[in-house]
Amino acid sequence: MCKVIAIANQKGGVAKTTTAMNLGIGLANKGHKVLLIDNDPQGSLSICMGYKDPDSLELTIVDVIEKIVNEEDIPEGFAIMHHSENVDLLPSNIGLSAAEVSLVNVMSRELVLRDYVEQIKDQYSYIIIDCMPSLGVMTVNALACADTCLIPCAAAFLPVKGLQALLKTIYTVKRRLNSKLEIEGILLTMVDKRTNYAKEIIAEVNEVYGKSLRVLPTEIPLSIRASETSAMSKSIYEYDPKGRVASAYSELTDFVADNS
């Protein structure tokens, strides 16, 4: 069985991409076969995974979308890259912006990614989709094919307002397109426990959402080492294995694996 997890929050800079990469590699380290899908035209996940110039990549998610829309066969391994820490990556680049716009004229435009995922999911135990910072068609595509949605939330600014719009989208997708969709939980990221502000935000998130949603028990600490990994093409487990962020992501990985 394959579990598909969409990592979404329309706010940028809340550690979606960092979480996608370190959860994906965390699951791979536990022996699972993992595909990471970069679903953001900024290609940040592709960059973090070592493809520093994603716009020069020959094949990306854009080509996959094109094939699905044209109802063409997708050859095995099409557009998939392999990272040395044992995960596969479907990369993305700026072309996804235009592809997203052109989907407007496509029938069942919200289900294009699901078509693809259905074709490849028997090859993986986990597929993790790193969403772009918007609630547009491609994010809806990710939610429409996901089993769960993981919501990273930076404890650095007030996240409560933005979450309402995301939750509304999730519930609409669940009602109309994907009844199996569940919320994996809210993951607090960039937590600086030394500040009262972080503590206030955590208290507020728990107060507002704690009853209706799961606020995950793991919190990802704020750490310079974590921010440095983006440029290193490696996970936090390789870059700073003894650090607090590595152990937090490893704890998150255990939680997600146990919850599957």
164 near ligand ADP, rule: CB under 6 A: no
Q: Which of 189, 218, 233, 250 is close enough to bind ligand ADP by CB under 6 A? A: 189
At its nearest, how many Å lie between Mg ion and the CB of residue 205? 20
Subset of residues 1 to 60 that bind ligand ADP, contact rule: CB under 6 A: 12-18, 44
Site size toward Mg ion (CB under 5 A) is 3
Asked if 24 and 36 touch (Cβ cutoff 8 Å), the reply is: yes
Q: Which of 11, 16, 67, 114 is close enough to bind Mg ion by CB under 5 A? A: 16
In sequence order, what DSSP letters do the residues of the chain get, joined into one string? --EEEEE--SSSSSSHHHHHHHHHHHHHHTT--EEEEEE-TT-HHHHHTT-S-GGG-SS-HHHHHHHHHTT----TTTT-EEETTTEEEE---THHHHHHHHGGGSTTGGGHHHHHHHHHGGG-SEEEEEE-SS-SHHHHHHHHH-SEEEEEEETTS--HHHHHHHHHHHHHHHHHT-TT-EEEEEEEEEE-TTSHHHHHHHHHHHHHHTTTSPEEEEEEEP-HHHHHHTTTTS-HHHHSTTSHHHHHHHHHHHHHHHT-
Q: Which does 13 bind (CB under 5 to 8 A by kind): ligand ADP, Mg ion, none?
A: ligand ADP
253 near ligand ADP, rule: CB under 6 A: no
Site string for Mg ion, 36-65 (x = CB under 5 A): --------x---------------------
Q: Which of 220, 246, 252, 256 is close enough to bind ligand ADP by CB under 6 A? A: 220
190 near ligand ADP, rule: CB under 6 A: yes
Minimum CB distance to Mg ion smaller for 19 or for 125: 19
17 near Mg ion, rule: CB under 5 A: yes
At its nearest, how many Å lie between ligand ADP and the CB of residue 228? 7
Applying CB under 6 A, which residues contact ligand ADP? 12-18, 44, 133, 189-190, 220, 222-223, 226-227, 230, 245
Applying CB under 5 A, which residues contact Mg ion? 16-17, 44
